[in-house]
Amino acid sequence: MKEANQINQLIKQVDSYVQNCPENVMEYKAFPHKWSKKEILGHLVDSAIHNIQRFVEIQFSSSVYSVHPYRQNEWVSVNDYQHTNTQSLLQLWMVLNQRIVQIISNLDEDTVNIPIFINEHRQENLAFLISDYAHHMAHHVKQIVG
């Protein structure tokens, strides 16, 4: 899948940026209610965790899998990404996404066409969810490195 290559490129881009980014830049918050670059990276960790589970469970669901949203702000808050070691956070994000690349690289055409429901209202398939994940990651990577 082309998304595997895209995710690999995003991993390299974020790794390079974070390795050379001062900590105060990673932790800067323009407004108290907005996420810092570090919190955005933490949000991407949460997204990876949820999507690993989805990408695997969809393949074994006995009925049409329904994708449910999660409480993103609460996850970022409870995980306290703002005060997490940046290098540890980066490594976690990279490893989770390397796992996602492995999972999606092994999917065949029948599997990526497995139907799913997005919020129980809209029918799509696993390929859509993978593409949406890569697009979501690219959006947030621009916020981090841009």
Band of pLDDT at residue 146, cut at 50, 70 and 90: confident
pLDDT computed for residue 55 by the predictor: 98
Instruction: Extract the tokens encoding 140.
Output: 């947030």
pLDDT computed for residue 58 by the predictor: 97
Give the C-alpha separation, 91 to 63, whole Å.
35
Instruction: Extract the tokens encoding 55.
Output: 């990408």
Calculate the alpha carbon distances from 32 to 36, 83, 93, 143 in Å: 9, 15, 24, 17
Q: Is the pLDDT of residue 120 over 80?
A: no
Compute the mean pLDDT over every residue in the chain, rounded to the nearest whole number.
96
pLDDT, average across residues 97-117: 97
Q: Measured in Å, how far apart are the chain's first and last C-alpha atoms? A: 26
pLDDT, average across residues 85-92: 98
Band of pLDDT at residue 46, cut at 50, 70 and 90: very high
pLDDT computed for residue 17 by the predictor: 98
